[in-house]
């Protein structure tokens, strides 16, 4: 598959207002449509990953909200209307209700999503 819409993309994680839809596009990259309600902190879900941080890079665009990205080098704030690159070594926290799209290497992202699902029990 080389194209998808949000509604056609399967839900990979859902609960507590969090929604992650993901689809492999082109074999090596995955597109993800993400919704985080205000207050969502992915820190607990990253426990057990290298340095308890997401090891996968992401390129994307924040459509709605404000998001704090915690890194080893300090926090960065992202706001609606910004395109972004998040290198490996980050944990997101939604300061407001957020919606974004990102593109990530498929294998690395699948490893992270599998870890998050295991943390959710």
- For 54-84, what is each residue's pLDDT tens digit? 999 999 999 999 999 999 999 999 999 999 9
Tens of pLDDT along 25-60? 988 999 999 999 999 999 999 999 999 999 999 999
Would residue 91 count as lying in a domain? yes
Q: What is the pLDDT of residue 1?
A: 60
15: CATH: 2.60.120.10
CB 109 within 8 Å of CB 56: yes
Q: Is the pTM of this model over 0.75?
A: yes
Tens of pLDDT along 8-19? 999 999 999 999
Number of domains the chain is built from = 1
Domain range for 36: 11-120
Tens of pLDDT along 100-112? 999 999 999 999 9
């Amino acid at each position: 598959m080389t194209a998808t819409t949000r509604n056609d993309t399967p839900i990979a994680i859902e609960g507590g207002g969090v929604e992650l839809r993901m689809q492999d596009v082109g074999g090596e990259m995955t597109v993800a449509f993400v919704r985080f309600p205000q207050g969502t902190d992915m820190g607990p879900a990253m426990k057990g990953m290298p340095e308890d941080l997401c090891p996968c890079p992401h390129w994307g665009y924040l459509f709605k909200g404000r998001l704090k990205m915690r890194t080893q080098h300090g926090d960065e704030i992202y706001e609606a209307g910004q395109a972004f690159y998040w290198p490996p070594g980050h944990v997101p926290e939604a300061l407001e209700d957020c919606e974004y799209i990102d593109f990530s290497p498929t294998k690395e992202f699948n490893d992270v999503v599998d870890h998050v699902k295991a943390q959710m029990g």
